[in-house]
Structure 1
Amino acid sequence: MKLAVIGTGYVGLVSGVCFSDIGNDVTCVDKMSQKIEMLQQGEVPIYEPELKELIKKNAEAGRLRFTTDLTSAVGNADIVILAVGTPSMPSGEANLSYIMEAAKEVALAMNGHKIIMTKSTVPVGTNEKIGSLIRGNTAYPVSVASVPEFLREGSAVRDTMNPDRIVIGSDCEDARQALAELHKTLTDNILFTDVRSAEMIKYASNAFLATKISFINEIANICEKVGADVTQVAVGMGHDNRIGSSFLKAGIGYGGSCFPKDTEALIQIAGHVDYEFKLLKSVVEVNRDQRFNVIRKLESILDTLNGKTIAIWGLAFKPETDDVRDAPAFEIITSLLQRGASVKAYDPIATSNFMQKLNSPRIEYCDSAEEAALRADALCVLTEWKEFQKISPATIQSWLKSPNLIDGRNMYKEEEVANTGLIYYSVGRPNMNKGVREKTPQLLF
């Protein structure tokens, strides 16, 4: 099939590249000429495993092109994929100005019947507005469908090529058939719904996953007080098929571009129909507070942070990505600076992106994990990069000025820490905490 993908962010670029890799003719469109020039030269504006190689392969095969010429791309396409950003506004609502602008431009470029496939995450009812806008600006027939994406940064290519399911929300039979044909090589688990249900599925899925993360972090906080181990608790819970093992890893909370944005947007969607989503509001509150456990533990160990040097390993919100949007490191480092500390920070990939958003004379961005940890009063691990997992706690202790390690991602095992002199804190594993002034677990009888 001939596809035009409008927007070359995470969703648009990965989707376009993967659709070309399964044999479709794809033109990716973006207004940012600098980004398009990069892509035309084989450079990738985001870090995502496997993506660069696939771009090279399919561009050389003639199946994949990049352009700023929306009119030409739409004119040559059977299916137009809307994948532009819908960022949060200060209120938490999704900003739909970009997608509506793109929809109007698509309408003006149409030269015949088109299927519009929306992959951008949009509030319920948006696709109906998109359809009305396009029909009001073209004489040609159009079919609109909502096909939400469920990819994860760091494994976006793998998730796109091996989806759990494809959701196609449309009332147009021609759109359903064409989009089912487009996706059939990826999976036979295709779910057809009405448009509004498809839009809601995306928000509901992300909100539920965010809820699981906040739930296990609350359990971790209780485990620390009663002497249980959250990693063992999570394993026991995960064996229950009704619960499942995914997203039950305790830590310092979720971040990134999706969960924070989508939970806030769903709270706003509920509010617009006079419904208070109390559960989801609590999920957001728990997540915001969880990252400050790092600060609380540092203060417990060091008494004061004023004048201390704190090493930070990990600036991206998760490993295998350079995305720093709503990364816990922002609030943690900002809080450290407010308390008078200096920071030495390192990330294998995301440092340059982080520097653009947060800079201070008291932040030293380092070129290696060792450089960041060397002579620091404490080390905080905020992102579970494999590079950090390969460094033993004994080595970490030898680098630090004072042997204080805050493991915000539960990377290290008990036997690795046991024979060191580290003052160690992890999340929800009180049996592993060494040297941290904790209250004795209560006897619950």
Structure 2
Amino acid sequence: MRRIGVIGAGYVGLTTAACFAHLGHRVVCADVDRRRVARLCRAEVDLHEPGLARLVAEGLREGRLRFVVGNREALSDVDFVFVCVPTPTGEDGSADLSAVRAVLREARELMAPDAVLVIKSTVPAGTTDRAAAEMEGHQVVSNPEFLREGHAVQDFLQPQRVVVGASVESAALRVLDLYSGTGAPVMVTTPTSAELVKYASNCFLAMKLSYVNALAELCEQIGADIGDVTEGMSLDDRIGASFLTPGPGWGGSCFPKDTKALLSTAESVDVDFSLLRATIDTNEHQPQRVVEKVRELLGPVEGRRIGLLGLAFKAGTNDLRDSPALAVAELLAEQGARLAGYDPCVDHGPVPVVSSVEEAATGASALLVLTEWPEFAELDWPDLASRMARPVIVDTRNLLPRDKVTEAGFTLLSLGTPASTTRPTTAGL
């Protein structure tokens, strides 16, 4: 059992604290938000993250997890300090490290000499080495997180890999020992390489999504079907099936800031990363493309009621940060549309939120599927059609059962799919 301090109680920090406590360590998790800490002390978790509330309650009940306001307790009298503070996009596109620097200033004064400071926040390459120089002899290690929102507990306790970057091997081994209960594959490298692993992974996935969105637009223009194209691609084990579904764009807390940060890093050392720039540009084009599809079906949207199905940036979370659904909503609102949004895990937001799909559909001239919640594929289509001013759906996630929707009288427009597609039979092959 080790004593661990976690700085920050957001997605990464809270998951890290609760999961380490579950693995048998003693953890104190610090945050500057008094209201958040008070709620966590009562085992009240606001994040929609399966299993997380249960682990928080377990840790509190068994005395292995505590939450405090301010960092002093989490920095002193511990064996490890995990830095899990935000690194948002700065005005110039680079990562804003002000929260990390603030923790380092405190840690330099409060940490025990033999304690290890572990940077789990996503930081630009070279940050850990610079932090080590500032920490005056303290061991500083990079240990990037690879947590998917909606799967964070699973990803922590059953990780695909644990990456540790350290200049001193003994410090790396001490950190790896904390994860011994997970049985995960491990990789030890330099701090700079570990930091870049995180950015490189996220940016590659973002690139894959932008590629398939551009491919979907091409399919529409030449009469191909993106579903058939990606199915054929996915049979190649060099490509695989993940991240090959078109959508209204990618968002969330990681991809937007990480692509900009890596591009900023490349530009700072005069590396022409035009592929990453194109990835960002393609993504920024997607919300406008969705609005154009709505206008293709309705004409001007001014004064028309439009129902938005899904507000979170992806299914399985209530996170609205950089959500493409909200980017689409903003463009529609600018053109005078009257919006009604429904999401099973969001009860408020920057657009009017209603309590059901039926309420969103009532009087609407169109429904837009913007988040891939599975329940949206199993709706009462005849009932929804009867409620709407015009039975029109734009399915930006290619989620809906085309035959059932069109049989109910809807006009259905999907991404990367021509208006009519005749698939050849495979009988006799």
The TM-score normalised by the length of structure 2 is: 0.95
1:436 aligned residue: none
2:242 aligned residue: 246
* SS of corresponding position for 1:12: helix
In structure 1, stretches of 5+ residues that fail to align are: 136-140, 434-445
Contact kept, 8 Å, 1:414 with 1:432, in 2: the verdict is no
Q: Distance in 2 between matches of 1:305 and 1:146?
A: 50
1:260 aligned residue: 256
Pair 1:233 & 2:229 matched: yes
Contact kept, 8 Å, 1:294 with 1:380, in 2: the verdict is no
Q: In terms of mean alpha carbon deviation, does 114-123 or 172-181 score higher?
A: 172-181
Decide which of 356, 364, 379 is 1:391's aligned counterpart.
Answer: 379
2:84 aligned residue: 83
Following superposition of structure 1 onto structure 2, how do residues 279-358 of structure 1 map, counting pairs within 5 Å?
279-352=275-348, 354=349, 358=350
Contact kept, 8 Å, 1:426 with 1:432, in 2: the verdict is no
Q: Deviations over 1:99-156 (max 9, x none)?
A: 0101111121123311111110001111112112221xxxxx4211111111111111
Following superposition of structure 1 onto structure 2, how do residues 25-424 of structure 1 map, counting pairs within 5 Å?
25-135=26-136, 141-352=137-348, 354=349, 358=350, 363-424=351-412
CA RMSD of aligned residues (A): 1.6
Q: Deviations over 1:136-180 (max 9, x none)?
A: xxxxx4211111111111111111111111111101122111112
Q: Deviations over 1:380-434 (max 9, x none)?
A: 111112332221433332221101101111111233234232111111122568x
Contact kept, 8 Å, 1:317 with 1:383, in 2: the verdict is yes
Q: In terms of mean alpha carbon deviation, does 80-89 or 302-311 score higher?
A: 302-311
Amino acid in structure 2 at the alignment position of 1:71: R
Q: Deviations over 1:275-297 (max 9, x none)?
A: 22100111011111112222111
* SS of corresponding position for 1:29: strand
Decide which of 405, 410, 413 is 1:425's aligned counterpart.
Answer: 413
Q: Distance in 2 between matches of 1:412 and 1:229?
A: 15
State the 1:62 CA deviation: 1.0
1:8 aligned residue: 9
* SS of corresponding position for 2:67: strand
Q: Deviations over 1:179-213 (max 9, x none)?
A: 12111221341011101000111111000000000
* SS of corresponding position for 2:182: coil
Q: Distance in 1 between matches of 2:283 and 2:186?
A: 33
Amino acid in structure 1 at the alignment position of 2:396: G
Amino acid in structure 1 at the alignment position of 2:265: I
Contact kept, 8 Å, 1:70 with 1:109, in 2: the verdict is no
Amino acid in structure 2 at the alignment position of 1:423: T
Q: Distance in 2 between matches of 1:298 and 1:191?
A: 47
Q: Deviations over 1:51-87 (max 9, x none)?
A: 1111101210111111124222322211110110101
Contact kept, 8 Å, 2:166 with 2:189, in 1: the verdict is yes
% same residue: 39
Contact kept, 8 Å, 1:255 with 1:317, in 2: the verdict is yes
* SS of corresponding position for 2:82: strand
State the 1:364 CA deviation: 3.3
Q: Distance in 1 between matches of 2:126 and 2:105?
A: 17
Contact kept, 8 Å, 2:406 with 2:412, in 1: the verdict is no
Amino acid in structure 2 at the alignment position of 1:403: P
* SS of corresponding position for 2:364: coil
Contact kept, 8 Å, 1:315 with 1:351, in 2: the verdict is no
Amino acid in structure 1 at the alignment position of 2:392: N
Amino acid in structure 1 at the alignment position of 2:374: K
Q: Distance in 2 between matches of 1:37 and 1:390?
A: 39
Amino acid in structure 2 at the alignment position of 1:118: I
Q: Distance in 2 between matches of 1:153 and 1:239?
A: 27
Q: Distance in 1 between matches of 2:276 and 2:162?
A: 25
Amino acid in structure 1 at the alignment position of 2:388: L
Q: Distance in 1 between matches of 2:373 and 2:190?
A: 40
Q: Distance in 2 between matches of 1:60 and 1:231?
A: 48
1:442 aligned residue: none
* SS of corresponding position for 1:326: coil
Amino acid in structure 2 at the alignment position of 1:179: V
State the 1:35 CA deviation: 1.1
Q: Distance in 2 between matches of 1:109 and 1:393?
A: 61
Q: Distance in 2 between matches of 1:374 and 1:107?
A: 59
Q: Distance in 1 between matches of 2:352 and 2:239?
A: 43
State the 1:262 CA deviation: 0.2
Q: Distance in 1 between matches of 2:347 and 2:328?
A: 15
Q: Deviations over 1:214-269 (max 9, x none)?
A: 01111111111222221121122112111111111111111001000000011100
Contact kept, 8 Å, 1:392 with 1:416, in 2: the verdict is no
The TM-score normalised by the length of structure 1 is: 0.91
Q: How many residues align?
A: 421
Q: Deviations over 1:16-68 (max 9, x none)?
A: 11111111111111122211111001111322121111110121011111112
Contact kept, 8 Å, 2:85 with 2:99, in 1: the verdict is yes
Contact kept, 8 Å, 2:377 with 2:401, in 1: the verdict is no
